[in-house]
Amino acid sequence: MNAVIPVSEETGFDVVIVGAGIGAHSVALSLPSTLRIAMISQDAVQTSSHWAKGGIAAESCLSEIDAHLEDTLAAGARLNDRDQVHRLVSGAPEAIRFLVELGVVFEPTLEREGGHQSARIWHADGDATGLAVMRVLGARRAASLNITSTTARLVQLVTDGDCVQGALVEQQGSLVLLKARSVVLATGGATGLWSDHTSPDGNIGTGMVAAYRVGATLGDLEFTQFHPTAIALTGSPLPLATEALRGAGAWIVDAEGKRFLFASDPAGELATRDKVSLAMHRHQGMSFLDVEPIGPAALAKRFPSFLEACRRYGHDPFANGPVPIRPAAHYSIGGIVAGPHGETNIQGLYAVGECANSGVHGANRLASNSLLEGLVFGRRAAAHIKDRPTLRQRLRYPSTLALSPRAPSRAAISAIVDVGLGVERDHPTLQRSQAALEALVSNEMNPYFASELQSARELVAMTIQAATLRRGTIGSHTRSDAITENPNYRIEFNQSQPPRRVERQS
């Protein structure tokens, strides 16, 4: 039996932003101060942006962006939307200036990471760039009188035809309707659905499914990036060993101390994440990160977050030897299909950051392009939003909402995801995973938790279907039973039609 929950109505806003990471803050802080903005999130200090150990990829000036563009295309197996990549890399110098003007202090030396031809990675506070940036953005947001920050859980979006009208959220057990002329989803990805993941546990794709349910299009769901150097000293979320460690000289070795990555790619440790993760997955036995080539002094100075994470779990990388690592789900390439300004096919609805499928990452994200994407497209979304028409005077919405209190457990969903949607996939396993998902037993629970898990199950079903339909191997999607095919398409999901292949822009 459904739980019938009363809905209360809040004062309308010009913009509702769902999320608290770099994309959400980039939108909020780039909008005119005359607009009334609501920022809602389950946790304002535990986002993937706060946890980002790498930096921000950006050339110093526009005359040097061609190499960054080429590296992004190469990492994405050239399934990227080239125009969107150009918007990303050409917006990078200005994005860095935006952060500097807000008060972010970057280190004077740029670093190199896997997949990059040159040193173009900006760091702040060593290997804790995300946290350093978010502290500055959070302080600016808190000081902005036009921004209301609220702890809340997105339940569903509200639309009138093909136009967004607001968001329905849960606040302290009550349902509240936030009316708005524009809604921005910056809700992060869905990598929390894997047992081994590096993201906050709340990243299970809720924003993606909320958009899908009101008619937005999802795409590229089969592409999930696994970070090869998740520190395997604890349970998930697994702390990250930043890509920059390998750029600084760290090795990936097996239990005998042998470097094995060159057998699969001449770039070795500096290959892209998809290639390194696959090589580790196929290699017999455990993998380790050897930081001996960097040395204790340089490690302590440049990578204090990594060193602290190791010692927190009782491992000194010099006294105890190389650090155990394993690939973990790290970044959702797929998501809500979004255009040059983060706009979706629903008027007034925008998607920014990891929940968006903007086309910049292709089949695999280049290291340190994630914070950059949130910055560049967050600011582009803000520029688009400020010119939208004013809020409609009255939105009619039911006074109650019925939510089912039954859903499968998260552990049961994750067990299916681990088996069917790992680093390497095949048709029989995908078919068994789909059948297991359909056979899951639902349990009684809090209706809000049930709502999230129901949407997670829905997203997993679409992801398994996308992975089944893409029968070739490309980027972060590897099929052990791959066929040769032209990969230049995107698998799209929309409630109004069956899943379909759409030829990519190039």
The single-letter code of the amino acid at 277 is: S
Is the peptide bond preceding residue 498 cis, with omega within 30 degrees of 0? no
Q: Looking at the domain covering 229-327, what would its CATH class be?
A: alpha beta
Provide the whole-model pTM.
0.95
- If you search the block for the tokens 């994405």, which residue do you land on? 76
Topology classification of domain 3-223+330-385: FAD/NAD(P)-binding domain (3.50.50)
State the amino acid at position 440 in one-letter form.
Answer: L
CB 31, CB 198: distance < 8 Å: no
Burial of 86 (0-12, 13-18, 19+ CB in 10 A): middle
Helices (runs of H) and strands (runs of E) counted in the chain: 15, 24
Cα–Cα distance measured from residue 439 to residue 449, given in angstroms and rounded to the nearest whole number: 20
190-228 per-position pLDDT tens digit = 999 999 999 999 999 999 999 999 999 999 999 999 999
Q: How far apart are CA 131 and CA 50, in angstroms?
A: 4
Spatial distance between the Cα atoms of 499 and 467, rounded to a whole number of angstroms: 12
C-beta of residue 372 within 8 angstroms of C-beta of residue 97: no
Select from 246, 234, 255 the least CA-distant residue to 275. 246
What pLDDT is recorded for position 53? 86
Taking the CB of residue 195, how many other CB atoms lie within 10 A of it? 14
Per CATH, 3-223+330-385 and 404-491 having the same topology is answered no
Cα–Cα distance for residue pair 60/48, rounded to 1 Å: 25
Reduced to 3 DSSP states, what percent helix, strand and coil does the chain have, rounded to the nearest 5?
A: 35, 25, 40
Distance (Å, whole) CA 424 – CA 444:
34
Q: Which two tokens stand for residue 329?
A: 């789900």
Q: Which residues of the chain have pLDDT under 70?
A: 1, 389-396, 506
416: number of Cβ within 10 Å:
23
Catalytic residues: 273
pLDDT digits (tens, 9 = 90+) for 18-32: 999 999 999 999 999
Q: Map out the domains of the chain as residue ranges.
A: 3-223+330-385, 229-327, 404-491
Which architecture, in CATH terms, is 404-491? Answer: Up-down Bundle (1.20)
Q: Do 414 and 193 touch, CB atoms closer than 8 A?
A: yes
